[in-house]
Structure 1
Amino acid sequence: MFCLLRYCFQVPSKMMYLQRLPQPGWSKAVCSAVPFDNILGVLPKSQLFRHSSASITKAQSFHSSCCNLKKKKPPEPEPRQLDLLRYDMPSLKDSSKPALYLGFAGLIPFVSIPLLMAIQEVSYPELVFAQIAYGACVVSFLGGIRWGFALPEGSPAKPDWINLANSVVPSLFAWLALLFKDDPIQAGMTVIIGLGIALHYDLALLPTYPRWFKALRAILTIVAACSLIATLCIVNAYPEKRLSRYASESEVSK
């Protein structure tokens, strides 16, 4: 029994120090003079059981607190770059008022032309070409924005070969679309592809713009592309009619 009690008192040095505290009826001189090993023989058995259980309880609480400190919460995943609806769309309210108003005003030529032709149920080649030419200008403008974004000092987009060369690609698509002026289907599809490539560059590939501008760019590009698709559907569905008086007179003379 004495050996078992002696084994229970084999605790760390800090716990052993707690056992050296003076007990009721013990003087400080006795506690300092008597060695710790001899205290076991002096204390009654009831006090030995009480001190041993208290030491084990303190040791267990000390051990459990160390385990709690080691537990760490798993790190939260970083937001994805292309999760536009969740991370970028709420930032649209923080956009610059001139950029917001001018951006939506720039959709008027895109939306008005297919709307006019759908109401009259006729396809005007002059208006179709005007919309395609305006879309080509917008595609070239989107490429020029990248140059202006990369040239200032301290910009996250550096004026390197990748940024400046990719900003030229939309202008090439705009030039290619104007070459197909006699074929509105190919010209319109070329402009739509140029808009998509410019949006992909701005959102994912190259160093991106502020969040509010990315949200604005996505909305404007989607509306412009849908307007061009509506125009191409009207060209295939409705009969063609010329706007110019000279063209109509020449057709009548024939």
Structure 2
Amino acid sequence: MLARFGWRGIPLAVQVCEKTSPLSYASKQRLFPGVSSGLNIKRCIFTPHEAALRLTFPNLIHKVEIHTSNSHLKKRKVQEEPEPRELDLLRYDMRSLKDAPKPALYLGLGGLIPFVAAPLVMNATACYYPEVAFAQVAYGASILSFLGGVRWGFAIPEGSPAKPDWKNLANSTVPALLAWLALLFREDLSESTFFVIMGLGIALHYDLSLLPTYPPWFKALRAILTLVAILSLVGTLAFSSVYPHKSLNMKTT
């Protein structure tokens, strides 16, 4: 509640409330005659006649909080903090998949063919082909190196949200190193497949949450492509223990 007092032609606005103020009844009557005894003074706000008010009310400056600006008359805008983005693709980024450029969408989906073809061939023939499995692993290793290069290309241009610092550039080399390990263990395709799967998962984690993020449509596309690739690798790995092993030259191993 605001009570207005006129004193020697100088307007004065006194804000009163019921809970806050250490001023006693005698002090309130001395500083503000006419204020009800049941009300406590909280703040004194007056117009720019500060010099005259200091002469009229010398004790007011020391005992009551004074505010001389007119900001209390302005409507303050409350800035709403953006909702924190969590790893919730179905809620956020999947909606932006329709905004993906057609070349990126078609080339990305076409890039799944070498991943998906291996388990489909094995399931259709009821045989596990080590050459096909290695071709799938080698393709996955090349994709890991490609993903690391994409991060470098995203961070290096001037004005990019991702800076060319140690965090971006060093982390983007991890998938390529895992791809190298996958090719080193070619004699054991189970271990090679594991390295590729781990590299794909780490690269997706970097791009979605750890490092400065890509556009929403690219994150959605990355999530779909990575999920399908991992499932294809897991399917090939499972067929190795289910179907008999045969090489492409029809020699049983």
Runs of 4+ aligned structure 1 residues displaced above 6 Å come to 69-74
Q: Shift in Å at residue 85 of structure 1? A: 1.2
> Among 173, 196, 216, which residue is 2:221 paired with?
216
Counterpart for residue 183 of structure 2:
178
The alpha-carbon distance between structure 1 residues 207 and 72, as it changes in their structure 2 partners (threshold 3 A), is closer
In structure 1, distance between residues paired with 2:158 and 2:186: 40
Counterpart for residue 84 of structure 2:
79
TM-score normalised by L of structure 2: 0.68
Identical aligned pairs, as a percentage?
Answer: 65
In structure 2, distance between residues paired with 1:83 and 1:183: 36
> Among 150, 157, 174, which residue is 1:169 paired with?
174
> Among 7, 12, 37, which residue is 2:4 paired with?
12
1:124-146 CA deviation, whole Å, 9 max, x = no partner?
A: 01000000000010011001100
Question: Higher mean Cα deviation, 186-195 or 77-86?
Answer: 77-86
Is 1:159 matched with 2:170?
no
In structure 1, distance between residues paired with 2:160 and 2:249: 49
The alpha-carbon distance between structure 1 residues 148 and 70, as it changes in their structure 2 partners (threshold 3 A), is closer
Alignment-mate amino acid for residue 178 of structure 2 = F
Greater radius of gyration (CA): 1
Counterpart for residue 191 of structure 1:
196
Structure with the larger helix share: 1
Q: Shift in Å at residue 210 of structure 1? A: 0.2
Which has the bigger relative contact order, CA under 8 A and spacing at least 6? 1
Is 1:118 matched with 2:123?
yes
1:173-218 CA deviation, whole Å, 9 max, x = no partner?
A: 0000011111111110110000000001101111110000000000
1:96-126 CA deviation, whole Å, 9 max, x = no partner?
A: 1000000000000100110110111100010
5+ long unaligned stretches in structure 2: 7-73
In structure 1, distance between residues paired with 2:81 and 2:174: 37
5+ long unaligned stretches in structure 1: 1-10, 15-68
Superposition RMSD in Å: 2.3
In structure 2, distance between residues paired with 1:234 and 1:158: 43
**For residues 201-212 of structure 1, what are the structure 2 equivalents within 5 Å?**
201-212=206-217
